[in-house]
Structures are given as structure tokens and as C-alpha cells.
Amino acid sequence: MSELILAIESSCDETSVAVIQDGAIILSNIVASQIKSHQRFGGVVPEVASRHHVEEVTTCIQEALLEANVTPQDLTAVAVTQGPGLVGALLIGITAAKAFAWAHQLPLIPVNHMAGHIYAARFVEPLTFPLMALLVSGGHTELVYMKEAGSYEIIGETRDDAAGEAYDKVGRVLGLSYPSGKEIDQMAHLGKESYPFPRAMIKEDHFDFSFSGLKSAFINLVHNAAQKGEVLDANDLATSFQASVVEVLVNKTIRACRQYPVAQLVVAGGVAANQGLREALIPHMQEACPNTRVIFPPLALCGDNAAMIGAAAHVELQKNHLADWELNAVPSLAF
């Protein structure tokens, strides 16, 4: 009989519930985005997010079961994101998961949201170890070395802003709506690299990142030009900004894959949807590390979703890493 996990994700501004078979097959993956409610504030408002999760979570559970054509009695376990994320938002998912698991006498599996992002790649092909993950999202930018399933070593991370955060902040200066990563990516393909933005720490012999200097250089350039009455080309700004982000990410990732020879490189998180990053990383990796397979999750699974939580939960269940009814949200949960 196959294993069926009901997975719940509510760490930020998406309420999502999925039913995953054997950690690899998506029977359903319902994603209720709240982005329209946050856009006018230029970012995610935690209290607004929590309220939306309360309204959405029960319906999402019902829809996920219906679409997967399974009943609670068919399920093997319930999985839920424990952290990192917004505490109020996480608590809604955790409370719903506990209630559902209690009512149907199912085991409860706590999942790290960032591990979930890595396991989104499982829907492309099985993960093979050792593995390197470049995790690039709105809250994180890190290189994670996985010697084996369930083992995570952060070998480098951002010392200030995450890559997605930098995209969203420069997008605000360009008058784009939140989150602006996708739009800047599209604009970057229309312009030319005209502004020499910094590549922070690119030559330094470690795997850490920094994007706040780039963000400040961008903002200062735009503000100074506005004071002088100059109009800068928005597409050229996007191209130049993206060139800097991509060059740093590609450079450090290749260096990491050379120092830690790996079977696979998984690029995951919201910024893994970036076309410029995909276009640059794949050929450079092919040249520098031809024995390493580069995997990007499907575009629809780069952002937050419960399918990835179900895939990561499958591994936790095999290791019998279960939670009891005391399970609590951990907003800054580390690996």
C-alpha cells in the first residue's frame, strides 16, 4: 500500500495543502495566495497573513483531499511546516495539522521550510547524495551541503539581505509592486548592462554572500539621478542589477561544488525561478563541474507550496522523526 501524506504550509503569505504519495507524486497541491492583500503595504504584514491563513486553511484541506480523491482514513500521516517563518502564520498551520492528526489518529511530522524548498527538486528526479543546495528566497540565501538525506550543513549564507529581499527592495524604488523579482527578471531581458554595480565578496575565499551594498548602490544611483532631473533606463537598471546578483550566485556556487564534489546541485526557493540565473548557471556548471547534475524545481514549485513539505516529510517519516502534541512554531528554525 502506498504512503499518503497530507502536508500543510503556512509560513508566510501562502496557505497551501497537498496530498503526496510516497514522497514523489503530487495528488493535489492547493495554494491560496494572499499576495493581493499585502501588495498595497509593499511587503507581507504578519497580522494580515495570520488572518488569511485562519480563513483559508480548512477549505484548503478539504480541497486537497477532494482533488486527490482520498479520505482521511486513507492517509498515513500529517506534515506541517514548523519554521522558519512568521510565528502567527506558522501557528495557524500547526494548529490545523494537530487538530486534523488528533481527530484522525495520524502521526504528525514537523518539517523545516528550507528543507522543503530543497525537496521541491524531488518532483524532477530523486535526490542523490552528496548534494549541494543553493537556497535563494525572500528570507534566505545560503549554500547547504547535504552528505546524505536529512543531513544539512550550511557552508555559506548572506550576511545581510537575502537575494529575493534585494530584488523586492530595488523593485520598490522602480515603482514595481511587491514581490518584484519576476518583473525585474523580465525587464532584465529587455535592457543592457550599463551600470557597474558591485559584486560583493566575489573574490573572497568563503561562501558567504552580501546584497545590501548592491541594494544601496542601486537606490543611491536612482535617487541621485532623480535629484539631477536625469531619467535612467529602468530596463538597463534591471539588467545591471540582475547581472550582479547572478554573477555572485554563480561564482560562489561553482566554487562550492568544486570544493565539495557533489552528485547534484539543487537550486531552490523563490529566486530559483529566475531565468537569468538558470541561463547562466547551467552552462557554467556544465563547464566547471560536468559530473554534477543541476536541478531546478518546476517553476510552479519554486515559491512556497505544501507539495515540497510533503516530499521532505516522507524522509522524516522514514527516520521516524515525529512530533507530539506539544509541537510549537519556531520562527527562526535552523537546519
* Span from 129-137, 184-192, 224-232, 322-330 in contact with Zn ion (CB under 5 A): 129-137
First to last CA, the chain: 31
- Give the H/E segment covering residue 251: helix 234-259
Question: Is 7 strand, coil or helix?
Answer: strand
- Give the H/E segment covering residue 103: helix 87-103
Number of C-alpha atoms within 13 angstroms, CB side, residue 170? 35
Is 181 annotated in a binding site? The answer is yes
What are the percentages of helix, strand and coil residues in the chain, rounded to 5? 45, 20, 35
**Residue closest to 130 by CA, chosen among 9, 328, 317, 293:** 293
Q: In angstroms, what is the minimal distance from the CB of 12 to Zn ion? A: 6
* Omega before residue 130 within 30° of 0, cis: yes
* Span from 132-140, 156-164, 201-209, 214-222 in contact with Zn ion (CB under 5 A): 132-140
Q: Does residue 304 belong to the site contacting Zn ion (CB under 5 A)?
A: yes
Is 138 annotated in a binding site? The answer is yes
Q: In angstroms, what is the minimal distance from the CB of 279 to ligand KG4? A: 12
Q: In angstroms, what is the minimal distance from the CB of 133 to ligand KG4? A: 13
Q: Does residue 10 belong to the site contacting Zn ion (CB under 5 A)?
A: no
Q: Which residue has the cell 498595497?
A: 40
* Residues 145, 51: Cα–Cα separation, whole Å: 36
Residues that bind ligand KG4 (CB under 6 A): 12, 137-139, 164, 167-168, 179-182, 185, 269-271, 273-274, 303-304
Residues found in the chain: 335
Eight-state DSSP code of residue 327: -
Is 13 annotated in a binding site? The answer is no
Is 277 annotated in a binding site? The answer is no
In the list Zn ion, ligand KG4, none, the entry touching 273 (Cβ below 5 to 8 angstroms by class) is ligand KG4
In the list Zn ion, ligand KG4, none, the entry touching 101 (Cβ below 5 to 8 angstroms by class) is none
Q: In angstroms, what is the minimal distance from the CB of 270 to ligand KG4? A: 2
- Residues making up the annotated binding site for substrate are 135-139, 168, 181, 185, 274
Q: Can you give the binding site for Zn ion, defined by CB under 5 A?
A: 137, 304
- Residues making up the annotated binding site for Fe cation are 113, 117, 304
